[in-house]
A and B are shown apart, each in its own frame.
Chain A
Amino acid sequence: MRLPDNESRGRSPLNRVPPRLKLLVTFALIIATALLPRRPDWLYLVPAGVLLLLWPLCRLPLRFLLKKLLVVEFFILGIGLLSLLTPAARPLFFSALLKSNLCVVAMLMLTWTTPFHEILQELRRWRLPTVMLTTLALMYRYLPVLAEESRRMQRARASRTFSRQRRLAWHNLATITGQLFIRSAGRAERIYLAMCARGWK
């Protein structure tokens, strides 16, 4: 799994900006965008303009950005379906589409130019709940481990799969998902012990 971290990308001018400033600007932009009217409006050009101005400074590849945005569009589709049934909800659909895309672009630009551990350090300084930050840090650390584990299981399954029946494929997927949950629970227990061994309370 490819995670946004500083080793996988080139340095951009925004990388040198202190994380605090980047976080403040991003959060301000997100809050302002969320508070915009629930219908398409010229005001939407303000956050879009800010992002467009910062765009050349962050050197985020367009292809990477579009791929990530596609994930968001999937969720927007739910609201889209609703708007087909009630025409009154159509402006809501367009505003939600604009808002979510603008917010995600802002977050992507932040994570592209700021290593994740620096974001966490800054949030720690802002005194966000420790439990939340620990959860975020562990999620970032263990997502690639889980992805690798599921890849290994899929490969092992595939090596012993001799039929292309769809029913069997779904069954395999369900088994792998179940196994992944069980293994994750076991790993969580071992991680907790390893943390306690180094004095964590």
Chain B
Amino acid sequence: MSAAVEVRDLSYRYPPKGRLALAGVSFTVAEDECIAILGPNGAGKSTLMLHLNGLLPEQPPQEPSIWVGGQPLIAKNLDAIRQRVGLLFQDPDDQLISATVFEDVAFGPQQLGLDGAILRSLVSHCLGQVGLEGFEDRAPHRLSHGEKRRVCLAGVLACKPTVLVLDEPTSDLDPRGRREFKALLQGLPGAKIIATHDLELVVDLCSRVIILDEGKLVAQGPTVALLSNEALMLEHGLEKPHSLLHRHPHGPAGRIS
């Protein structure tokens, strides 16, 4: 069985002659596996997310570095891969573009040629999946941050992706919104790749972790083993999560043990 996502020696430099955002990154994600991409700000997480959907580089390469379900990410497969990889952006306002929730969730399926009763039932099914039944006629600018994020997820799910790529899915959510969103993600099938700073979410959801720093993949392994390695975490601008910690590294003693 082929991996859900395979990345081989992926490098990217922002044009023209910008900094090297990704340098020889390689990893695989199995079907139904949930992995986390960690790293400090500017490590290349968001750049990697955009690559997985074929949004970067602007012209797909001749020689692929990414395979989704065994299919190489090259120009002729771009549409198919964008449908298979559902990308949730960090700021829901970037993703919610329509005047109503219905139109927004329907945006992706409409690009695939869906219309009429099938489209309506798909939209209401996806809104049900994210717990927003009956929100079809609501205006996105009147939703709470958590609701906006869930509408974004419904819009992504409506394209029936096999891989979900989530960029900071819990940032700006209050504890309840975060808890609900986490439960929602837990219940979704398929491979999930989550770029986040929310380490407790990683402990709860992800079986494996990849750490990026300055565009390089510096470590990968099982979540608990990697996140418990305090020296490694601190070296790359991260922290051992509270749930795996008996004493916080910046605790009352003010000493890093």
Contact = CB atoms under 8 A, between A and B. Distances in A.
A52 interface: no
A194 B24 CA distance: 26
15 contacts: A7-B139, A115-B99, A117-B98, A117-B99, A141-B96, A145-B93, A145-B141, A194-B97, A195-B107, A196-B55, A196-B82, A197-B55, A198-B82, A198-B155, A198-B159
Interface stretch (A42-50, A66-74, A93-101, A185-193): A185-193
A64 B69 CA distance: 56
A138 interface: yes
A198 B99 contact: no
B83 interface: yes
A190 B100 CA distance: 20
B210 interface: no
A191 B104 CA distance: 13
Interface in A150-201: 187, 190-191, 193-201
Contacts of B141: 3, 141, 144-145
Contact of A191 (B97, B112, B156): B97
A199 B96 CA distance: 14
Given A6-B137, A144-B141, A199 B159 contact: yes
Contacts of B87: 194, 197
B95 interface: yes
Interface of B: 50, 53, 55, 79, 82-83, 86-87, 89, 91, 93-100, 103, 107-108, 111-112, 137-142, 155-156, 159
Contact of B99 (A120, A200, A201): A120
B138 A141 contact: no
B140 A141 contact: yes
B83 A199 contact: yes
Given A3-B139, A138-B97, A193-B55, 19 more contacts: A3-B141, A6-B137, A115-B100, A115-B137, A117-B99, A117-B103, A140-B99, A144-B141, A187-B93, A191-B95, A194-B87, A194-B95, A194-B97, A196-B82, A197-B87, A197-B89, A198-B107, A198-B155, A198-B156
A141 B98 CA distance: 6
A5 B50 CA distance: 34
Interface in A4-19: 5-7
A17 B99 CA distance: 20
B142 A7 contact: yes
Interface string A114-127: 01110010000000
B97 A199 contact: no
A58 B150 CA distance: 35
Contact of A194 (B89, B103, B137, B140): B89
Contacts of B94: 187, 190-191, 193-194
B108 A198 contact: yes
B97 A195 contact: yes
A137 interface: yes
B211 to A, nearest CB: 25
A45 to B, nearest CB: 36
Contacts of A3: 139, 141
A30 B132 CA distance: 40
A141 B108 contact: no
Nearest to B56: A193
Residue among A5, A6, A187, A201 with most chain B CB within 10 A: A5
Given A190-B89, A193-B50, A194-B94, A199 B82 contact: yes
A116 B141 CA distance: 13
Contacts of B86: 197
A137 B91 CA distance: 19
A195 B55 CA distance: 10
A201 to B, nearest CB: 8
A52 B37 CA distance: 63
Contacts of A196: 55, 82
Contacts of A6: 137
Contact of B108 (A138, A199, A201): A199
B89 to A, nearest CB: 5
Contacts of B55: 193, 196-197
Nearest to B108: A198
